[in-house]
Amino acid sequence: MSITATQVNELRKATGAGLMDCKKALTETGGDHEQAVDYLRKKGLAAASKKAGRAATEGLVGSYIHAGGKIGVLVEVNCETDFVAKNEGFQNFVKDIAMHIAAASPLYVRREEVDPSVLEREKEIYRAKAKESGKPDNIVEKIIEGQVNKFYGDICLLEQAFVKDPDKTVQTYLNETIATIGENISIRRFAKFILGEGLEKKESDFAAEVAAAAGV
């Protein structure tokens, strides 16, 4: 049975579960919305929706340093209470997210943050490529929708495959952590630093590096 994007989005709004989890739930239940909700609840993936409206103003700023100090990540993850901020499970979650960001290089936390002009430019590229293949307009639009979702999956943290378990998204890992800890948790923002990024090396510096590499 073909599951539509509309069905997935409706289930996502109703449960707060990740897109991939919603699609899997609908596939497993033959597209039945209510059964899909029950499926997600049994998996513990719909629990997050009940806590999503609760204020999360405590938390941690976590960090991850890699490659001998040449790559660094800072990430702010919020929870509801200082008690949970000191919880080992929450702290491990923050560390995992910082490490994931270092490895996967997302540009945004969630799709709502993507600049509309960036998204529109991507759509135009997908549309032009699809039309070159001679496909009818209705098929072209479906192709664009699929490409846009893939685009989000590449650049949005919550929709990326989690590096420590690629079978789940970061959103799924977040939902599981919320269900385990029992508080609303939100990944608010992050920054990734790469040593020397955006700087132009002087010719003398480059020559020195070449000489050092050659053992001169």
The CA distances from residue 168 to 13, 32, 85, in Å, are 19, 22, 24
Q: What is the pLDDT of residue 209?
A: 56
| Average pLDDT, rounded, for the chain | 85
Top mean-pLDDT range of 15-29, 178-192, 200-214: 178-192
Domains (range + CATH), the chain: 1-52 (1.10.8.10), 55-194 (3.30.479.20)
Q: DSSP class of residue 133?
A: T
Provide the pLDDT confidence category of residue 207 given band limits of 50, 70 and 90: low
State the helix-helix crossing angle for 170-181 and 19-28, rounded to 10 degrees: 90
Could you list the beta-strand ranges (E) of the chain. Answer: 58-66, 71-79, 161-162, 165-169, 186-194
Widest CA span of the chain, in angstroms? 71
- pTM score: 0.67
